[in-house]
Amino acid sequence: MAIFTGAGVAIVTPMKEDGAVNYEQFAKLIEFQIANGTDAIIVCGTTGEASTLSHEEHLEVIKYCVEVVAGRVPVVAGTGSNSTETAIYLSTEAEKYGVDGLLLVSPYYNKATQNGLYAHFKAIADAVKVPVILYNVPSRTGCNILPETIVRLCKDVENIVGVKEASGNISQIAHLAAIADGCVDIYSGNDDQIVPIMSLGGIGVISVLSNVAPKQTHEICQKFLDGDVAGSRKMQLEALELCNALFCEVNPIPVKKAVNLMGMEAGPLRMPLTEMEDANALKLEKAMKAYGIL
């Protein structure tokens, strides 16, 4: 059984002006998501600036999220690392806090062979009992998890259940769906490809867009799951301008700006991420107004 179907938000981590995590505001963002129909909370992913959180902060944010959500929707924690040992540590600790699943990014910078990826993910999954979603985002990691490797892991390791596919390569994702024979839960990792990936058998999205449009992103998925493909497609196309604006600079720079524009106080970014350029901020604000969320 899938950890979740539909739209899971890759939630931002709000910061105070001094750079500390703003837990009070984080609780408000979680409540906003749940009130607007988000199907899952994905905490400490790319959008949550996990790469600049200390290990202590990373785990505290996960623990706090689980406590605030209190079982109302699934919580999936990003606990991947380019160090297998570190990923095992983060994953086993997150499991203790009661997360419903883990999201494991492929090793970045040092990369790995396909055999290395298999060994890395298997070692982490074997250290926990909760279900695991692999995260394939080669544009950030420089490392592509091939469909054959994903299927091998899902077949060989009981608690590796799916993949967040953010390669952007529809042909690769189609190949994955063709050889998986239903053993891989496929989630879109790109908001502009929700319907295309669901049309290949995907079951939802792990979404940046959901930070600012949780109800609409949920409905894109739910309409598709309910068989209203035309309605889902219409909503997907209506969201494209905003999706593009949310990625006109590296994520999560635009989405944090968008959350701040909505008055929800996501706060600043941690370096090396810096504030949005003025021209791009105007483009984002225009797209948000056109979409009706400003």
Known catalytic residues are: 135, 164
Cα 175 to Cα 144: distance, rounded to the nearest angstrom: 14
- For 101, list phi and psi in degrees, rounded to 5: -170, 170
Contacts of 30 (CB under 8 A, 6+ apart): 11, 41, 65, 68, 69
Task: Identify whether the C-beta of residue 80 lies closer than 8 Å to the C-beta of residue 105.
Answer: yes
Taking CA atoms, 77 is separated from 44, 151, 269, in Å, by: 6, 22, 20
Cα 220 to Cα 73: distance, rounded to the nearest angstrom: 18
Cα 232 to Cα 225: distance, rounded to the nearest angstrom: 9
Cα 88 to Cα 82: distance, rounded to the nearest angstrom: 11
Beta bridge partners of 77: 43, 102
Q: What is residue 185's three-state secondary structure?
A: strand
Taking CA atoms, 97 is separated from 120, 122, 231, 249, 294, in Å, by: 23, 21, 38, 34, 36
Contacts of 192 (CB under 8 A, 6+ apart): 236, 239, 240, 243, 244
